A = this chain, B = another copy of it.
Amino acid sequence: MNVLWIFAHPERRSLNGALRDHGLATLRGLGHPVRQSDLYAMGWNPLVTPADHRHDPRERFRVGAASERAHATGALSADIRAEHDKIAWADALVLQFPLWWYGMPAILKGWFDRVFVQGFAFGVTDGQGRTRRYGDGGLAGRRALVVTTAGARPTGLGPRGVHGDTAQLLFPLLHGTLWYTGMRVLPPLLIPGADRAGPADHAGAAAALDRRLRGLPTDPPLPYRTEAGGDYDDDLVLRPDLAPGRTDLGVHLTTPT
C-alpha cells in the first residue's frame, strides 16, 4: 500500500516525533512506499483565505463555492494541489497528532479545512446524481488510521471516563471527515500518559504502533453506518427501527437533553 503519513507536532524530539520515525521505518520494512506531510516542518498555512482560490476580494467570499470553482479550474494554491497529489497517490492515510483540547492541533485542522475541498473530497455524485458520502465519496478506496497521544490516563478517556471516550471525542474527524469522504476508518490508536512517558512507555507505544501498522491493510474498520445503505430517511435521520449502536458514550449529562 502507498501510505501518506500526516504529522502535526511542533517538536521532532518529542514522543510523537520518535513514534513517527519508528512508524515510517516499520512501514518501509513492510515494503510499503511512504510519503509524508510534516506540517510544522513544511510551514503549513492552516488558514482558509480568498487567496487560496484566486478569489476577487471585491466579491463576497463564499468558501464552499469559491473552493469548488478553484478546484475545478486548477486555480487552487500550489500547496493545496500538492496535498491532493499525495492523497491521490495514497492507499492509506496515517494521521498523527497530540490531542490538544480533545482535538487536532490547529495546523492539522487547517489541513482539512484547506485540502478537503468540494469536488475533491466531497460533493461528488454517483451515476444517479446522488451525493456520495458517509462510506462513499471522493476519497473512497482508502484506509485511514488516527494515532494520537494524550497527557491523560487511559481510563479517563474510556467509555465512562471523565474526558469522554476517544472515539467519541474524535467523532468529528473519524466519522464526520474521514468516513464522510469515503475512507475506511480504523479504530484510533490512543497513546495515553504521554506527559509522564519513560523509556518503557516509549517502547510499549512503539510496539502498539507496529501492531496497528502491520494491520493497516487488513484490520476491520469501524462499523459506521452507510448513507447509501438506506439507514437514514429523507431528513437524514436514522430510521426508527435502528439502534444508534452506542449507549455508553460518557457525555455525562445529569439529565437527558
Contacts and interface: CB of A to CB of B under 8 A. Distances in A.
A168 B168 contact: yes
A247 interface: yes
Contacts of A177: 101-102
A246 B253 contact: yes
Interface in A87-142: 98, 100-107, 109-110, 112-113, 116, 134
A31 interface: no
A249 B252 contact: no
Interface residues of A, number: 77
A107 B153 contact: no
A67 B201 CA distance: 24
Contacts of A251: 167-168, 171, 175, 244-246, 249
A50 to B, nearest CB: 7
Interface string A9-45: 0110110000000000000000000000000100000
Nearest to A178: B101
Contacts of A235: 153, 155-156
Interface of A: 10-11, 13-14, 40, 46-50, 60-64, 98, 100-107, 109-110, 112-113, 116, 134, 151-153, 155-156, 158, 160-164, 167-169, 171-173, 175-177, 187, 195, 222-225, 227, 231-232, 235-238, 244-257
Given A101-B109, A105-B113, A134-B162, 4 more contacts: A10-B63, A162-B236, A169-B176, A231-B252
